[in-house]
A = this chain, B = another copy of it.
Amino acid sequence: MTQLNNMLAWARQYKRRYLAGDISAGIVVAMMMLPQSMAYAIVAGLPPVTGLYASIVPPLLYALFGTSRTQSVGPMAIISLMTASALAPLSPPGSGLHGVLAAQLALMSGAVLLACALARLGFLANFFSRPVMSGFTLGSALVIAWGQAASLVGQNAPAGTVALFGRLRVHPASAVLGVGAIVLLLLAKRHLARLLRRAGVNPEAASIGARLAPMLVVVGGAVLVGLGVAGGGVPTIGAVPAGLPGLNLAIAPAYWKPLLQPALLIGFMIFLISMSSSQALANVPAPGDPDSAPAKPLANFELAGLGLANIGSALSGGLPVTGSISRAAVNVAAGANTPLASIISAGLLALALVAPTGYLALVPLPVLAATIIVAVLGMLEMETLRTSLKYDRSDALALLGTAGGVLAGGVEAGVVIGVLLSMATLIWRASRPHIAVLGRLAGSDHFRNVERYPQGTAGGTDPAVLLLRVDAFLFFGNIDAVTERIERETAARPALRHLVLILSAVNAIDTSALFGLAEINRALAARGVTLHLAEVKGPVMDRLKTVNLLAGLKGQVFMSTADAFDALSGTR
């Protein structure tokens, strides 16, 4: 029910003043998606029209079920690369089976996403640290760019085969067209908005105009080919079948198993990429409604929206899709206020397929390759690397390790390496929790860290009573560190009789830490020290009561540190 409420929320609250922005954004995004979606289908080793199919039904479904109002769902470079890599061992790029398997992969990824939504696994978005995500993007962008280098210079390499360090055969006319397109796109990126503004175009329109440079370059390329100016032999997209995608699903049952692992990894990355994009968008208020509270994406709804979008892509002959920050940024810049913008752009792309598609056949592949290369290099951000090199070497290492993993082992290995490196840095940090020895502040019932308040707490300690406060939830990764600290502190205090663990900042104790506490209790008892607890939070206490740790505890559970100190410090 919440889902349905969520689904209709933007429509029910629709305001008249949103419409102009939504229409203009719909038009702009459609013009951006027309070449882009075909290009990303080529990256995946699929016929270009597949990309268009994947830009119609999926954004409609996301508009209904997703969480971000201005997200733009469709084919995306990294997901297409992962698709190509997953299908490479199974079917030749461009074959009929390749298309069937791409749709099947979208279906399976969609099912994975939906299952995660139902199991409320939205917290999985936290599995990648920012440096690891940055490294993954870096590696993937380089692989994609290099994969397009052959196409850029006119070599009719089978699309989607990524051969690093292969030799390029150069077709001169194509190379001129491709490299020229890159130069134009880079110039446009740097200067077009400024030139347009200088020519009197208003700033917003100028910035949107500049974003449409890829579309203009592609049209220009097609015109050159059409007029015969480009010379013969330039590879082009070729005939694009007209008409809307039929809603049906071809499945190759023998491939469920080999596609399972890729579907898990692709589903995971679809979610991560779309979430990080939606989160960035949430900080931008809708232009038509500057006071609107930015809608934070709800991870579980995002999972559901993306799951349905991918299943929709599979049913309409597409490929795995996700939200894209670059497309969404254009959407917002062009005035999008609500998902209506996505619905309009999907409608326009459907119209483009219903209208004669002959003109699309003329689009030269080298120019399309140029747009891909410039787009993926635009995804690179070096700030995270620069910052982490200065700030935290282990994070910089994780970034470079993930990028290296993608380059050396492929995108799938890159995801696994990324997760492991994120976790390794986490475990390493978590294994050093903050633990403070407390003392009573003179003349009060307050207890503070004796290291930070040596004078104030000078009279408020007792050699027989040790007050230890742990500032972290207790789990398998830090319970050994806690145990060691306790051993060190007790070894240094021969007169010790009571140890009070103050759990005011402990939100949770996992099963491993529970056994660890029981072990601490036993070890202390063997040395004649009694373990007590204090300031245990309600939910933590309720849990502890379900097992017999408390029964094995010889000491007491005190409400406050003061109670504990008062009760124990007299017993010396």
Contacts and interface: CB of A to CB of B under 8 A. Distances in A.
Given A129-B475, A511-B129, A428 B387 contact: no
Interface size class of A (residues with CB under 8 A): 35 or more
25 contacts: A123-B428, A126-B480, A127-B423, A128-B476, A130-B476, A130-B512, A279-B480, A296-B484, A390-B547, A391-B546, A392-B510, A396-B511, A422-B476, A426-B426, A426-B427, A429-B475, A429-B507, A429-B508, A430-B473, A432-B508, A433-B507, A441-B446, A446-B448, A449-B504, A472-B473
Interface string A359-384: 00000000000000000000000001
Interface of A: 123-124, 126-131, 279, 283, 293, 296, 384, 387-388, 390-392, 395-396, 419-420, 422-434, 441, 444, 446, 448-449, 452, 471-473, 475-478, 480, 484, 487, 491, 504-508, 510-512, 514-515, 519, 523, 543, 546-547
A429 B123 CA distance: 10
B296 A426 contact: no
A476 B507 contact: no
A425 B484 CA distance: 23
A114 to B, nearest CB: 18
B426 A475 contact: yes
A510 B472 CA distance: 16
Contact of A130 (B392, B426, B515): B515
A130 B511 contact: yes
Nearest to A434: B507
Contacts of A428: 123
B129 A510 contact: yes
Contacts of A506: 434
A506 B131 CA distance: 20
Contacts of A514: 387, 391-392
Contact of A444 (B427, B446, B452, B519): B446
Contact of A477 (B390, B426, B433, B475): B426
Nearest to A506: B434
Contacts of A476: 126, 128-130, 422, 426
